Chains A and B, each alone.
Chain A
Amino acid sequence: MMEIAIEAEGLVKKYGAVVALDGFDLSVPQGTVMGLLGPNGAGKTTAVRVFTTLLKPDAGRARVAGLDVVADARRLRGLIGLSGQYAAVDEHLTGFENLDMVGRLYGFTAKASRERARALLARFDLEDAADRPVKGYSGGMRRRLDLAGALVAQPPVLFLDEPTTGLDPRSRLGMWDVISELVAAGSTLLLTTQYLEEADHLASRIAVIDHGKVIALGTSDDLKNQVGGERLELTVSTPADIDSARAVLAPLASGEITVDEPARRVTVPVTGGASALMESLRRLDAEAVKVLDVGLRRPSLDDVFLTLTGHAAEEESS
């Protein structure tokens, strides 16, 4: 049986009238990556703060690495790494000094702490900047340094709260690579994000959180299937082609074909994935329908959110 590394049962946390967590349940097996996906204000940070012993829940319980987050908080802190929503690095210290400080606070000897700091700086591509104050670092460098800080003690369970929020696209891709490596190394990871593609890319399982509750759980494929099947989307070259395309593809459709006249786009629900795509292309070709663009689309996680909550993920952000 697989060990459960992160577990929450019925967590409740209220801030006055605001219910940040409202019966939050979660279970993350050891060595897997759970993506906690939700819009701004959904309760992601609050959940992470409970798991990392920063916040006591009003009700419910949570265990991390087999330890209760309230009763065993002290021991648990030695087993977790946290990279919070805002890079918590000290501007006036150098990158090296930041990591060395964290190492010592984990209880390392001076020597072990320095060696670990140097090794992490090398691994996160910060060697050149290691002895410069963090003040001059870019956003991406700060984020990497903060993540390195979470890894100092090689904790078996890691929490990354919106690790790429505020990064430019290139730094984000760099961060994804770094996180993917961690995952490959077998850490248990809870990662929160507002980016649907990020959860899709990094996490093996996704929990969708809204108003402090998990409203859906599964692999990215599970979630997509829940929303509906795949569909064929094609754009034809002339308005006349719309009707011929519709006629040609009718036998393949598993549901109602929709047409967007101005965009000359025809959407056909299908089953069978790639083979349906090939078959449709053969038929369109045989009937000489001129097609500009064609593709098999699976629902995006945005669609997932819309279906699950009735509102778009972005709608709530303030």
Chain B
Amino acid sequence: MTTESMLANPAFKPLRDGITVARRNLIKIKRVPDLLVFTTLSPIMFVLLFAYVFGSAIDVPGVSYREYLMAGIFTQTMLFGSTLTGYGLAEDIQKGIVDRFRSLPMARSALLVGRTTSDLVNNVIVIIVMSVTGLIVGWRIHSSPLEALGGFALLLLFAYAFSWVFAVVGLSVRSPEVVNNASFIFIFPLTFIANTFVGVTDLPGPLKAFAEWNPVSAVTQAARDLFGNTNPAVPQPDAWPLRHPVFTSLAWVVVLLIVSVPLAVNRYKKAASR
């Protein structure tokens, strides 16, 4: 039998379990950097594509399109990054690792907390790489450092909330590949029926309403404001959520977490290797 002296203080066990799991996932990022490379390559490609191909064709009055664009690509990339959570969990179920974890005396929350946390770290790396790319092609932050930090924090918070949404997806489907396909169904309407690449004012009725209430729009608008990538000449959105983008973004984060955390925990308890 295990002796007392071998056991650590049980007080912070759930927290330590979460860290143990997160560490495991981070080792994987280190050993298989392909994942990180691909999650950063596609946003770099997006930045370059929009900056050099569409940049000259799309005109936003009063501000360089490259600057206007960055917030949108940031938001989109964060959303893509959060799908990794679902992929990773589905993979763990498929390989029987969830079964092993569930048979251990570890905190119920640890696998999910650890996974969402390591994916957050992943997103931090991605956001740094993207910022550097942006700076190279001419993106600049025109606000105070504090506001800029607020912008990055908001993007990461948004990614974290969506990690939990994709955790629910990952724990509900039968294979990691399905997570990928399922997430496209979410992500494309969310990122394109939004203010990511163009303003929403010219969209037809129902699409316009969707775009105005879309969390992606709120976060993009908030990041744009916080990075100072707008100026008074840019037509201000008239919809309420986009006039209060930081509040709306935070509200979305809270709602997404309130709904998806309990759902994910519930799915985890039932998850079986199928």
Contact = CB atoms under 8 A, between A and B. Distances in A.
A53 interface: yes
A278 to B, nearest CB: 51
Nearest to A98: B24
B31 A88 contact: no
A112 B6 CA distance: 5
B97 A88 contact: yes
Given A86-B273, A109-B7, A112-B6, A92 B99 contact: no
Contacts of A97: 24, 27
Interface in B1-53: 1-2, 5-8, 10, 13, 16-17, 20, 23-24, 27-28, 31-32
B1 A156 contact: yes
A89 B28 CA distance: 13
A176 interface: no
Contacts of B185: none
B20 to A, nearest CB: 5
Contacts of A88: 95-97, 99-100
A149 B100 CA distance: 9
Q: Is the interface of B mostly helix, strand, loop or mixed?
A: helix
A83 to B, nearest CB: 9
Interface string B164-192: 00000000000000000000000000000
B250 to A, nearest CB: 34
Contacts of B6: 108-109, 112, 116
Interface string A204-232: 00000000000000000000000000000
B1 A92 contact: no
Contact count band on A: 35 or more
B27 A86 contact: no
B104 interface: yes
A68 to B, nearest CB: 16
A74 B96 CA distance: 20
Contact of B100 (A78, A82, A109): A82
Nearest to B98: A88
Contact of B31 (A86, A92, A153): A92
A145 B249 CA distance: 46
Contacts of B1: 154, 156
A175 to B, nearest CB: 18
A274 interface: no
B103 A54 contact: yes
Contacts of A90: 24, 28, 97
Contact count band on B: 20 to 34
A101 interface: yes
A77 B1 CA distance: 13
Contacts of A75: 105
A80 interface: yes
A93 interface: yes
B203 interface: no
B2 A106 contact: yes
A139 interface: no
A107 B105 contact: yes
A88 B103 CA distance: 12
A86 B95 contact: yes
Contacts of B7: 107-109, 112
B24 A153 contact: no
A102 B104 contact: yes
Contacts of A154: 1-2
A29 interface: no
Contacts of A149: 100
A264 interface: no
B243 interface: no
Contact of B103 (A82, A91, A110): A82
A92 B27 contact: yes
Interface string A52-94: 1111000000000000000000110110101011111111110
Interface in B89-121: 95-97, 99-106, 110
Q: Which of A77, A88, A89 has the most CB of B within 10 A?
A: A88
Contact of B105 (A77, A101, A109, A110): A77
B103 A53 contact: yes
Nearest to A97: B27
Given A84-B99, A88-B100, A112-B6, A104 B16 contact: yes
A105 interface: yes
A133 B31 contact: yes
B14 to A, nearest CB: 11
17 contacts: A55-B272, A77-B105, A85-B96, A86-B96, A88-B95, A88-B96, A88-B97, A88-B99, A89-B97, A91-B95, A97-B27, A105-B105, A106-B2, A107-B7, A109-B6, A112-B7, A149-B100
Given A88-B99, A88-B100, A156-B1, 18 more contacts: A54-B99, A80-B103, A82-B99, A84-B99, A86-B95, A88-B96, A89-B97, A92-B28, A93-B24, A93-B27, A101-B20, A102-B100, A105-B17, A105-B106, A106-B2, A109-B6, A110-B8, A133-B31
Interface of B: 1-2, 5-8, 10, 13, 16-17, 20, 23-24, 27-28, 31-32, 95-97, 99-106, 110, 272-273
Interface of A: 49, 52-55, 74-75, 77-78, 80, 82, 84-93, 97, 101-102, 104-110, 112, 116, 133, 149, 153-154, 156
Q: Which 4 A-B pairs have the closest CB atoms?
A: A112-B6, A88-B96, A88-B100, A77-B105
